[in-house]
Structure 1
Amino acid sequence: MNYAFLSNGITSALETEGSIEWFPVPRFDSQSIFTRILDAEKGGYFSIKPIDFEKIQEEYIGYSLVLKTTFKKGNLTSTIIDFLPLSLPAIIRLYDTEIPLDVNIIPVFNYGLINSGTEIVKDGIIFRNPLSKEGVELLIYGNYEIISPYKILIKPGKGYLYLLYSKDLRYGLFSQKGFVYSRPYEAFSKLITFNEKELNKARKLNKIDKFKNIYYRSLSVILGLLYRPSGGIIASPTTSLPEIIGMERNWDYRYVWIRDASYATEALVKAELITEARRSLDFLISVIDPSSKSFDHPFYTIDGTPPPAEENLDWLSGFKNSKPVRVGNAAYLQIQMDVEGAFMHTLYEYYKETQDDDYVDRNYWAIEAIATWVKSSWRDPSTDIWEERGVTRHYVHTKVMSWVALDRAAKLAEALGYRKDSDDWKEVAKEIKNDILINGVRNGSFVRYYGGDEIDSALLTLPIYGFIDASDKIFLNTLERIENELKISDGLYLRYKKDFLGNVVHPFSLVTPWMARVYIRLGEIEKAIKLIERLDKCSNSLKLLGEHIDKDTCEARGNFPHSFPHAGIILSIIELEERVNAENSTTNK
């Protein structure tokens, strides 16, 4: 899946070889107008490429999400720079070409269902949704010829194509207020400056420079998944990219999952991007219910409202004929008991990094709400991190996350001087831990759920969260089982063996950085380095990773790119850097 990811923190696009094949408007979770990634015939796309070329190279400009595509034919070169300008549901494509360029543009509204009405106007083309006032307008500058509303010939020279979506074309690009919108070359300059300034604030790597590219690319992906108007971090910008080609494991991930967003926020905290991390924390705190389950839903829309129901888009054939194509996600019906712990751990990591007493104290009501809920409900069965549909159990990872929620709540309460709360929550955390050690261990190993004997890779998080030491015999037995039973090839692991849909096939990309972080805690630095190298090699040519990795080809599977592996990469590299620094300090003494 050699797609590029473009984002401006409002919406996103996926592009390959000059063709934009995914573009929801006006925001990440909206209906798409270019949907070719989910249906090669009906989906619609926006392609610019030479009529004839011999070589192609795609690369980001620095660590931005601005894509530069270079085509070559003999001694002739064509360069296209593609980006989404800040604050607008728009695509700007700058070109400088010695070769004629063939432009094909077919916007289709509502995920490929509604063909557009078209109108050729001075300097461009208007595409209207016949059922509403919305539409997209294409402004063209340079030496060109409009062959039809869907086809343009660009002649050698410099220029741009500027596509803007408007919910109402009466204030669109060709309206009387069109002059207020971005000027393409200035928008490019502003975006590059913005991206560089943002990433320059990130924590620098001093000891393990070999991972610099995947580290900064992962940071840019997390920042690209942050919806800037609200601070919510989505799990992935796509829907229904399949875990297994031709099968039904296809889901919509364009929402703010509490768990996924907490992981991503922790990565931003550890990378010292504190302002962005605090914005995400603000979003997560804003959806907490102080009088019921803290997080009523496992995920929310990007503006914090309850999630939509799941629907199938039967008119789309799916990525490589993988049906159904889904929008919305039925996981909103699940009661996931681990998410409170994921959030609380991230809030605690934020406090450790910043010592921001005022922020935590002002949000102490949220800590109380979570601790109160977990204290009263941790004994209940639940779905777990893997979101199996129709299955509730006493999952060990989920129980551990209840322990995490109360352990971190107690530490924060103690730091702020709320001694009574701290003592109370410590006692319940101790009770949960004892319960896990009695019921969650079988034959000397942790198991996936009480009463079972299978394992899952989420058990790797037990030492990561400090529930148990990585060198503890029970955990080492668990680690050995994961290595033996879930390993697919060097550095790649399944999340578990089977679920309600049958056997799983491909490795889950987050497991590799989990494993690396365990090895770092065990002092096995070379093993950790090899694992990070393995994940780096399985990223695509632009250093992007999906939720899963094809066991045969190393190609991304599932929604793409995904916050899980990129957050995991950031955290494992930072922990590796800290461990190497600590060992060097000891040696120097």
Structure 2
Amino acid sequence: MLLRSESTTDLAARPYQPISDYALIGNGHGAALVARDGSIDWCCLDRFDAEPVFSRLLDRRHGGFFLIAPVTPYDAVRAYHPDTNVLETVFYCPDGEIRVTDFMTVPDKSRQASPSYLVRLVKGVAGRVAVEVSYRPVAGFRPGFPPLEIAGDRVLAEGCPTLVSAADYQFAGPVAQATVTIRAGETVGFHLVDPSHDMTPLVPDDLLTASRACWKEWSEARRYEGPFSRQVVRSALVLKALTYRPTGAIVAAPTTSLPEEAGGVRNWDYRFCWLRDACLCFYALKKFGSTLEAEQFFSFLIDTFEAQETGKLKPLYGIDGSVGLSERTIEHYEGYCGSRPVRVGNEAEEQHQVDVYGQILDLVHLYKSLGGVLDERLRRIGVTMANYVAAHWREPDSGLWEPRLAPKRYVHAAIMNWVALDRAIRLFGPRPEWAVECDAIVAAIRQEAAHAGGYLPQVFGGTDVDAAVLIAPMVDFPIDEEIIERTVDVVIERLGHGPLVYRYRGDDGLPGHEGTFVLCAFWLIDALVWLGRFDEAKARFTGLLDLANDVGLYPEEIGEDGAFLGNFPQAFSHLGLIHSALVLDLHAAGGKPAVRGTYADRTLRETPNRRPTGIEEGEPTWSWS
């Protein structure tokens, strides 16, 4: 498809690009989204949760951007450099061909702070191509654009990073523009730099070589060589890119307010660490063989719990473990495709979601199974969590999907409460109160929660189904296989759409609707494999692989028309892909018995494609810490 670069007069008229047209670059501090047409429309440099430098993703008139694209019509093809998060877009034009390479530099290990360079290299491949460069930064979400200043090879703006390049810029209102002719063999570099950092040694080829080498060294240390290796590695690279280097916290996504329904109000800020999501990411990274990242997150988790005065966990925290993520709206932003409000912060922080205790104790169980040591500190934390669950599991909570409704008794929460007590008994030895309540949870789910139709519903006494209960077999919850089979069939019947799955269909206290939830589609695959319905599971998995965008990324949700919805790319979706690929691999190697048991049990099982990794095993010579 031929695309045309924007001109000075129609910058504000450019329509919103499909979410699937974006690719991620990052460096473990911040992240940016690059559109297929060469425009960076979202970027937070030093921290994922920082005020944005570019935000045209959320408002085409008031948001900033950084465009590099041919002046003439072109075809664009893009891909990541193999095993890296370095993006390359090739523009084919009537007069020639150029290659634009986008990446964020990996921080120097000797530095405490990240220089957060964002680098764009334009190389002439054939002929002569006139390239338009348009730079319009914003100082966060402040109304209006800051005045621009050109000083030699730099474009400056108060409260914004500095653009360094040799282009001859002119002002077009709030935009610094230049036209550069690139000949075959020539390379022109553009660097976005924090003005407080040293900007002298900016050697484009050296920065690219270093960044590419760091990513490749990390990804080539992987421990999986199965049939879905390319997709597993790409998903692991996404999780790595979404891991905040200073603390090990994993953000749910690098964006805020991308809608679950175009034009709707289901727009949330995901630039924080949900403990549940991050625990599941730990499983995925650990299975992939990434010990260092898993260990670092584990430390973040323990530090976060110890910082609580009540022993009662919040569902999400800031990437530095902070609390107080109060939600506010950016009133002057129209939102992606008119989806308002644009939110910063997330009031779901104030909810209580009791499943998180089970998720954490399951993680501790995996940690110990892989050779980790339960010191006094960890024992104290684990016992505190188990005691809390034993005392409070009968109480309603807000549920993992964070509906804006009064608390209810969710079946998924009860399953994870059982996990909390079961793992505590395995870890710390039997205690009468734990054993009694553990058995009581099982009895309650079997006798009170299970629907007369033979399936597990969303809430006790309810009829609606929820894809979250599909995790029951993966956590080794003791329930009849017939109930799991019936639950799977009801999920497919009521929530399925091709290979995709809605998480639920009932009222959640919000107007409008949402798309199918990608992680739930992978959870369904896992449950099908557990049941031995391998061919069905593999067909669904293959169908999901076909729904990734051209560079292998997934959103939170996908509409029935295939449109990407929700924040992007989504850690939940990519961890689901990794886990399902490995579950399929285990079944192919050992049948149904190979996928039974806990996460720890499956992690320890060998296959020809993957070897288990212990806590003390060696890491690559290069690391991010």
Q: TM-score, normalised by structure 2?
A: 0.86
Count matched residues: 557
Shift of 1:565: 1.1
Residue 573 (str. 1) matches residue 581 (str. 2): yes
Q: 1:445 aligns with which of 441, 455, 458?
A: 455
Shift of 1:53: 3.4
Equivalent pair of 1:289/1:295 in contact (CA under 8 Å): no
The correspondence of residues 374-453 of structure 1 with structure 2, limited to 5 A, is 374-413=389-428, 419-421=429-431, 424-443=433-452, 444-453=454-463
Q: Provide the rounded CA distance (Å) in 1 between the counterparts of 2:292 and 2:32.
A: 25
Provide the rounded CA distance (Å) in 2 between the counterparts of 1:440 and 1:583: 30
Partner amino acid for 2:395? Answer: D
For 2:534, the equivalent position in structure 1 comes to 525
Which residue of structure 1 lines up, in the alignment, with residue 162 of structure 2? 137
Contact in 2 for aligned 1:85/1:182 (Cα 8 Å): no
Kindly state the Cα deviation for residue 424 of structure 1 after the two structures are TM-superposed.
4.8
Deviation string, structure 1 residues 484-527 (Cα, Å, up to 9, x no partner): 1111x221111111321146342111111101101111111111
- Cα distance in 2 for partners of 1:385, 1:557 equals 19
SS in 1 for 2:194: strand
- Is 2:468 aligned against 1:458? yes
2:505 aligns with one of 493, 497, 514: 497
Shift of 1:227: 0.2
Distance 1:585 1:510 in 2: 24
Shift of 1:292: 5.8
Map 1:104-143 onto structure 2 (within 5 A): 104-111=134-141, 113-129=143-159, 135-141=160-166
Give how far 1:289 is off.
Answer: 4.2
Change in CA separation of 1:360 and 1:556 when aligned onto 2, cut-off 3 Å: farther
Q: How many angstroms does 1:41 deviate by?
A: 1.0
**Which residue matches 1:416?**
none
Give 3-state SS (helix, strand or coil) of 1:100's partner. strand
- Distance in 2, matches of 1:518 and 1:453, equals 20
Distance 2:106 2:60 in 1: 29
- Is this contact kept in 1: 2:449–2:457, CA < 8 A? yes
User: Which residue of 1 is the match for residue 330 of structure 2?
Assistant: 313
Q: Cα distance, 1:263 vs. partner?
A: 1.0
Q: 1:13 aligns with which of 32, 35, 41?
A: 32
Alpha-carbon displacement from aligned partner over 1:326-359 (angstroms, at most 9, x marks no partner): 010110111111111112222222332x222x25
Q: CA RMSD in A?
A: 2.1
- 1:4 matched to 2:23? The reply is yes
Deviation at residue 112 of structure 1 after TM alignment: 5.3
Give, as a single letter, the amino acid of the residue that structure 2 aligns with 1:539: A
Q: Conserved in 2, the CA contact under 8 Å of 1:290 and 1:369?
A: no
Q: Which residue matches 2:43? A: 23
3-state SS of paired residue (2:60): coil
* Equivalent AA in structure 2 for residue 496 of structure 1: Y
- The whole-number CA distance in structure 2 between the counterparts of 1:286 and 1:119 is 44
Identity of aligned residues (%): 29
Q: C-alpha separation between the residues in 2 aligned to 1:308 and 1:145?
A: 42
**Residue pairs, 1:74-85, within 5 angstroms:** 74=94, 76-85=96-105
Equivalence map 1:175-214=2 (5 Å): 177-179=198-200, 183-206=203-226, 209=227, 211-214=228-231
Query: Which of residues 21, 30, 39 is equivalent to 2:59?
Result: 39
Distance verdict in 2 for CA 1:460–1:520, change over 3 Å: same
The alpha-carbon deviation at position 405 of structure 1 amounts to 1.1
Q: Which residue of 1 aligns with 2:181?
A: 155
Residue 136 (structure 2) pairs with residue 92 (structure 1): no
Q: 2:110 aligns to what? A: none
Output the CA distance in 1 between the equivalents of 2:461 and 2:548: 38
Q: Which amino acid aligns with 1:453?
A: T
Contact preservation (8 Å) 1:506, 1:551:
yes
Q: Secondary structure at the match of 2:254?
A: coil
- 1:192-219 CA distance string (max 9 Å, x none): 111111111222223xx2x222211110
> Counterparts of 2:563 and 2:83 in 1: how far apart (Å)?
22
User: Does structure 2 conserve the Cα–Cα contact (< 8 Å) formed by 1:505 and 1:551?
Assistant: no
Residue 295 of structure 1: how far off its partner (Å): 4.7
Aligned pair partner of 1:582 in 565, 580, 590: 590
Deviation for aligned residue 1:428: 2.5
Give SS of 1:37's match: coil
TM-superposed CA distance for 1:290, in Å, is: 8.0
**CA, structure 1 residues 529+485, in 2 after alignment: closer, same or farther (shift >3 Å)?**
same
**What secondary structure, in the 3-state scheme, does the structure 2 residue paired with 1:178 have?**
coil
Say whether 1:349 aligns with 2:372: no
Structure 1 position 535, deviation (Å): 1.4
Q: Closer, same or farther in 2 for the Cα pair 1:106/1:479, shift >3 Å?
A: same
Shift of the 292–408 alpha-carbon distance from structure 1 to 2, 3 Å rule, reads farther
Cα distance in 2 for partners of 1:578, 1:392 equals 38
> CA separation in 2, counterparts of 1:85 and 1:359?
37
> Is 1:275 equivalent to 2:292 in the alignment?
yes
Residue aligned with 1:115, SS = coil
Q: Measure, in 1, the Cα distance between the counterparts of 2:215 and 2:331.
A: 39
> For the structure 1 residues 578 and 248, does the alpha-carbon distance in structure 2 shift closer, same or farther, using more than 3 Å as the test?
same
Separation in structure 2 between the aligned mates of residue 579 and residue 294 of structure 1, nearest angstrom:
39
Does the Cα contact within 8 Å between 1:56 and 1:69 map onto a contact in 2? yes
Q: For 1:64-93, what per-residue CA distance to the aligned partner results, in whole angstroms no more than 9, with x for missing partners?
A: 111101111136111111101123333111
Letter in 2 for 1:37: L
1:293 CA displacement:
5.3
Q: Report the CA distance between 1:476 and its aligned residue.
A: 2.0
Q: State the distance in 1 between where 2:307 and 2:189 align.
A: 51
Task: Give the alignment of 1:159-170 within 5 angstroms.
Answer: 159-166=188-195
Q: Secondary structure at the match of 1:125?
A: strand
Q: Does structure 2 conserve the Cα–Cα contact (< 8 Å) formed by 1:292 and 1:373? A: no
8 Å CA contact retained: 1:547, 1:559: yes
Q: Is the 8 Å Cα contact of residues 91 and 97 (structure 2) preserved in structure 1?
A: yes
2:487 is matched by which residue type in structure 1?
T
1:267 Cα deviation after fit:
0.6
Contact 2:531–2:592 (CA under 8 A) maintained in structure 1: no
Gap regions ≥5 residues in structure 1? 130-134, 414-418
1:359–1:160 Cα change, 3 Å: farther
Distance 1:4 1:49 in 2: 16
The DSSP-based 3-state class of the residue aligned with 2:574 is helix
Q: C-alpha distance in 2, partners of 1:360/1:411?
A: 15
Residue 563 of structure 2 aligns with which residue? 555
**Amino acid of the structure 2 residue aligned with 1:370:** M
Change (3 A) 1:291 1:279: closer
| SS in structure 2 of the partner of residue 579 of structure 1 | helix
Compute the displacement of 1:445 (Å). 2.1
Worse-superposed segment, 9-18 or 364-373: 364-373
Seen in structure 2, the aligned counterparts of structure 1 residues 250 and 584 have a Cα distance that, compared at 3 Å, is closer
Contact 2:409 2:460 survives alignment (8 Å): yes
Of residues 252-261 and 501-510 in structure 1, the stretch that sits farther from structure 2 once superposed is: 501-510
Residue from 367, 381, 388 that aligns with 1:373: 388
1:225–1:233 contact (8 Å) kept in structure 2: yes
Contact 1:233 1:261 in 2 (8 A): yes
Distance in 2 (alpha carbons) for counterparts of 1:401 and 1:370: 12
Greater RCO (Cα-Cα under 8 Å, separation 6 or more): 2
